[in-house]
Structure 1
Amino acid sequence: MNHIDNIYDAVLDGDMGVIPESVQTALNANVPAADILKEGMIAAMEEVGRLFEEGEYFVPEMLIAARAMKIGLDLLKPYLIDSGVDPVGKVVVGTVQGDMHDIGKNLVSMMLEGAGFEIIDLGIDVPPANFVEAVREGVDILGLSALLTTTMPSIQDTIQAIEQAGLRDNVKVMIGGAPVTAEYAQQIGADGFAPDAGQAVTLAKSLL
């Protein structure tokens, strides 16, 4: 087995203990960082997403794989910057005001990072003004999450705040969370809705 295959398998299996050594071994063997990222990690996370869609993987497996990928990515980052590998796009994510849930948001963040996006996570209970500020600083996609029906209106408030700031054309807005639907996304003027983390990656790529 070659170095890339080892990394691919370690991410797929969520083997966090093996990842640092596998990545370092590949770098020592002069495997380009971009190849490790694309063929080792991103390809593995795409397969994780596929297995999740097919019901072979569940949220725990997805989380473990994403964590393994993140460990590898942290090691690779300095090499990727040196070799001038640009992220696919910049995504700001956050759970909207009044909502304290972050598992879904974190999973989406890790899956997007695994797909080569640069992620800025604003955390939980994020007021609309903070999202507006992030858009003003320059971002491709805004990912808004709500896990309660009572906090769903905060998604609409955030989109309206961006519109009022005259920034709506500068950013694509995708939304998600347990009570959120495609109909609701359409109704409030979001650009897209993803029912799970795997589909969030597909949606983000299509929005770019």
Structure 2
Amino acid sequence: METKEVLLKKLSDCVFDMEDEEVADIVKEYIACGYDPKEGMLKGLVDGMKRASELYEEGEYFVPELIVCSDAMYAGIEEFQKYLPDSENTSIGKVAIGVVEGDTHDIGKNLVRIMMETGGFEVNDLGRDVPLDAFVDYVRDNDVDILCMSSLMTTTMPGMGTVIEKLTEAGLRSKVKIMIGGAPVSPAFARKIGADGYTNSAIEAVEFAKSLVGA
């Protein structure tokens, strides 16, 4: 029987190496060994996508490679979900997530979305280059527990603060918790604009989100 660490590495490599037709078999082997499905998704599949994203940022992977990597990751997640208890498929909270207007970098946002979904949240992805008013409109028109905004550009960072100001002006700020993230973002910036928190990784994001909803 393979050790958990070996199988997690195989899961990560399946995503990183774009082996979308082989990942399901590794998932079945991992499950047959009695290992935790959530850990397999997070430390295996999501880790592989994170590695691929890093190569994309370095210019060694391009969009076509990332698409196939994500196909492999989703194929693995779909297989893992067959083995999750029904209770773990119950939503622990509703999240809206998007990249602020002017910014089209969405790899980090996509990783956080996947982490949130595998962590038990119901997630609505607003996409990238989201108009600031669209965040406000979504909170106004929908039942949402957490609003997540990201930016990878210093020029678009202030948009997150503007959204919070607009929510406050509309009397909606108390309705929703707000998380922000992205390479140029910091805890100090989160405090400055009045966000409820900042995390610097997808894994931290889901744990912090759970704390916000008392899960």
TM over 0.5: yes
* Higher alpha-carbon deviation: 95-104 or 43-52: 43-52
In structure 2, distance between residues paired with 1:118 and 1:139: 9
In structure 1, distance between residues paired with 2:157 and 2:82: 38
In structure 1, distance between residues paired with 2:207 and 2:45: 10
Q: Who is 1:144 aligned against?
A: 149
Tell whether 2:209 aligns with 1:196: no
SS of equivalent to 2:180: strand
Whether the 8 Å contact between 2:147 and 2:177 is mirrored in structure 1 is: yes
Q: Who is 2:169 aligned against?
A: 164
Change (3 A) 1:25 1:74: same
Normalization by structure 1: what TM-score? Answer: 0.72
* Higher alpha-carbon deviation: 63-72 or 128-137: 63-72
In structure 2, distance between residues paired with 1:207 and 1:183: 19
Change (3 A) 1:10 1:167: farther
Q: One-letter code of the match for 2:117?
A: E
Identity of aligned residues (%): 42
Of 36, 51, 60, the residue aligned with 2:52 is: 60
Q: Who is 2:102 aligned against?
A: 98
Q: Who is 1:17 aligned against?
A: 21
Q: Who is 2:58 aligned against?
A: none
5+ long unaligned stretches in structure 2: 55-65
In structure 1, distance between residues paired with 2:198 and 2:71: 24
Whether the 8 Å contact between 2:11 and 2:26 is mirrored in structure 1 is: no
C-alpha deviation, 1:153, in angstroms: 0.8
Change (3 A) 1:120 1:172: same
C-alpha deviation, 1:131, in angstroms: 1.1
Q: Who is 1:177 aligned against?
A: 182
Change (3 A) 1:163 1:201: same
**Which residues of 2 match residues 79-98 of structure 1 at below 5 A?**
85-98=89-102
Whether the 8 Å contact between 1:12 and 1:47 is mirrored in structure 2 is: yes
Q: One-letter code of the match for 1:94?
A: G
**How far does the alpha carbon of each residue in 1:50-97 deviate from its partner, in whole angstroms, 9 at most, with x for none?**
979xxxx953289898754432444677998xx573123221110101
Q: Who is 1:118 aligned against?
A: 122
**How far does the alpha carbon of each residue in 1:84-111 deviate from its partner, in whole angstroms, 9 at most, with x for none?**
7312322111010111211111121122
Q: Who is 1:45 aligned against?
A: 41
Q: One-letter code of the match for 2:154?
A: T
5+ long unaligned stretches in structure 1: 30-34
- Say how many residue pairs are matched: 193
The alignment's C-alpha RMSD in Å is 3.9
In structure 1, distance between residues paired with 2:149 and 2:12: 27
Change (3 A) 1:147 1:50: closer
SS of equivalent to 1:122: strand
